Amino acid sequence: GESVGLHLPTLSVQEGDNSIINCAYSNSASDYFIWYKQESGKGPQFIIDIRSNMDKRQGQRVTVLLNKTVKHLSLQIAATQPGDSAVYFCAENPYNAGNMLTFGGGTRLMVKP
Amino acid sequence: GAGVSQSPSNKVTEKGKDVELRCDPISGHTALYWYRQSLGQGLEFLIYFQGNSAPDKSGLPSDRFSAERTGGSVSTLTIQRTQQEDSAVYLCASSFGDRRETQYFGPGTRLLVL
């Protein structure tokens, strides 16, 4: 069935390096995508979103890239800090699914000091 | 301002008992969502309320699960005759309701069914 998934379940990076977290989606009806960060014991926290009419969007230290051709989404974190250690989820919203989000399985980012 | 709050933060119950989980959304948010997150897994959609419209219950796993939202604000998720496989973190989120409005999550209720 249609799904959102992640290539790497765990990513370990050195503090100060850039991180790239990838996500593949298969629902061609999806036109809105969101990245969430979840720290241990907390609910997911919105990071950044992107609509399908864009291929790149930048926030503070984060950039989301969308490649609709290959149905691929990535989150880039610049100058990764220990506070970035968390599980990152991508989510998709098909245009015909109202407000319902479908979440991927998550990638754990571990930042080494 | 206050975010989404959920209570209790932790709940331990015995198999077969009923439980009620509460969610207080952000004031002014018309949409409210319940998700379930099993250990080490992603979020599974359960149910969605939007204003006075009939809720979207398409994600509820069985008829033991139900939810209501009183007065367009507080919501209660009820699990009847709990089973061990119901053990998970139950997350509530709210948004302004229009599609693509950011969903803000609460801290979740950790349910353990013994």
The string of pLDDT tens digits covering residues A62-112 is: 999 999 999 999 999 999 999 999 999 999 998 888 788 899 888 999 999
Please indicate whether, in this complex, the C-beta atoms of A98 and B107 are within 8 angstroms of each other: no
Of B42, B101, B102, the CB nearest to A89: B42
pLDDT tens digits for range B10-47: 999 999 999 999 999 999 999 999 999 987 778 999 99
Please indicate whether, in this complex, the C-beta atoms of A93 and B48 are within 8 angstroms of each other: no
**Proportion of chain B above pLDDT 70, given as a percent:** 99
Of A32, A43, A51, the CB nearest to B105: A43
Please indicate whether, in this complex, the C-beta atoms of B43 and A44 are within 8 angstroms of each other: yes
What does the alpha-carbon distance between residue B42 and residue B37 come to, in Å, rounded to a whole number? 6
Instruction: Say if B99 is an interface residue toward chain A (CB within 8 Å).
Output: yes
Residue B4 — left, alpha, or beta (φ > 0 → left; ψ -120 to 50 → alpha)? beta
| Mean predicted confidence (pLDDT) in A11-16 | 96
Please indicate whether, in this complex, the C-beta atoms of B99 and A32 are within 8 angstroms of each other: yes
Read off the pLDDT band of A17 (50, 70, 90): very high
User: Chain A window 62-91: which residues touch B at a Cβ cutoff of 8 Å?
Assistant: 89, 91
Please indicate whether, in this complex, the C-beta atoms of B42 and A43 are within 8 angstroms of each other: no
Query: Shortest CA distance to B33 belongs to which of A41, B25, B41?
Result: B25
Q: What is the pLDDT of residue A50?
A: 96
Q: What is the pLDDT of residue A1?
A: 35
pLDDT at A3 exceeding the cut of 50: no
CA distance B66 to chain A (A): 18
Q: What is the pLDDT of residue B1?
A: 55
Do the beta carbons of residue A20 and residue A101 sit within 8 Å? no
Of B45, B105, B106, the CB nearest to A100: B45
Residue of A48, A52, A99, A102 to mutate when probing chain B, most B C-beta within 10 A: A99
Q: What is the pLDDT of residue A2?
A: 39
Q: What is the pLDDT of residue B46?
A: 95
Residue predicted with more confidence, B60 or B99: B60
**Proportion of chain A above pLDDT 90, given as a percent:** 76
Distances (CA, A) of A105 to A22, B24, B38: 11, 26, 11
User: Chain B window 61-90: which residues touch A at a Cβ cutoff of 8 Å?
Assistant: none
What does the alpha-carbon distance between residue A26 and residue A72 come to, in Å, rounded to a whole number? 9
Distances (CA, A) of B40 to A41, A88, A102, B79: 12, 12, 16, 22
